Copies of this chain bind each other. A is one copy, B any other.
Amino acid sequence: MTDDASSPRRGRPPRGATRLTRESIIEATLEVVDADGIDAVSMRTVARTLGVDAKSLYNHVRGKDDLLDAVAEQLLGGLVFPALTGDLRGDLRAIAYGFREGALLHPAAAPLVLTRQLSSWEGLAPVEAVVGVLLRAGCPPDEAVHLLRTLAAMLIGTLLREVSAGPTFGVDDGIAARREALERSGLPAIGEVGAHLARFDREVEFAFTVDLAIDAVAARLSASR
């Protein structure tokens, strides 16, 4: 009941793929993440989807940590930012939405992009885009860096919640129940807003946060001018 003698399990990968490669390993890791989440990633599961022994991966990757960094870098590198128009608000909005779109391409993998600190070149592209827009709008360099960091924190915080928000997305029944629980909490302010706290629309929340952030940046720039 074990492998048939004609099974192609020895010596060569059974997947039609050409050869074991850093790229193919990253791709396989992304497959595992998409299918079963980040926690399901192990050297063994990744190797299994490639039809290879786990130890073979070490010929192309320094270890599991390096592999996860590589996945994050690849996703970051895939981000596309639209051409800038010179309009501060429009350009910042385009960058934010471009970042979100890229991060949500593989929602389960998003925490990798959002929380790993990569010392690589890839991470600089979004930074360059944002700082470029701010400088062109007349922002002094030190304030541009502060604004960049605040914008990044907002974007990361918002997207992290978006990809890991578990409940609040169930059936309408869940919303009603959640609302009731909140209103029964005994906390007065929460009771007053329970109806709104029980719902969560990803697009609406993202739009609100981006609008607020851009308003804040614009206000700062016109103040410092």
Q: What residues of chain A have their CB less than 8 Å away from a CB belonging to chain B?
A: 115, 117, 119, 121, 124-125, 127-128, 131-132, 135, 141-142, 144-147, 149-150, 152-158, 160-161, 164-167, 185, 187-190, 192-193, 195-197, 205, 208-209, 212-213, 215-216, 219-220
Q: CB-CB < 8 A to A209: which residues of B? A: 149-150, 153
Q: CB-CB < 8 A to A115: which residues of B? A: 115, 160, 164
CA distance A146 to B195 in the complex (A): 12
Q: CB-CB < 8 A to A220: which residues of B? A: 212, 215
User: Pick the contact of A216 from B124, B167, B190, B215 — CB < 8 Å?
Assistant: B215
A158 with B153: in contact, given A145-B197, A196-B145 (CB under 8 Å)?
A: yes
Could you give 19 example pairs across A and B, Cβ below 8 Å?
Answer: A127-B187, A127-B190, A135-B189, A135-B193, A142-B196, A145-B196, A149-B208, A150-B154, A150-B208, A150-B212, A153-B154, A154-B154, A154-B157, A160-B160, A212-B220, A213-B216, A215-B216, A215-B219, A219-B219
> Closest chain B residue to A162 by CB distance?
B153
Q: CB-CB < 8 A to A215: which residues of B? A: 216, 219-220
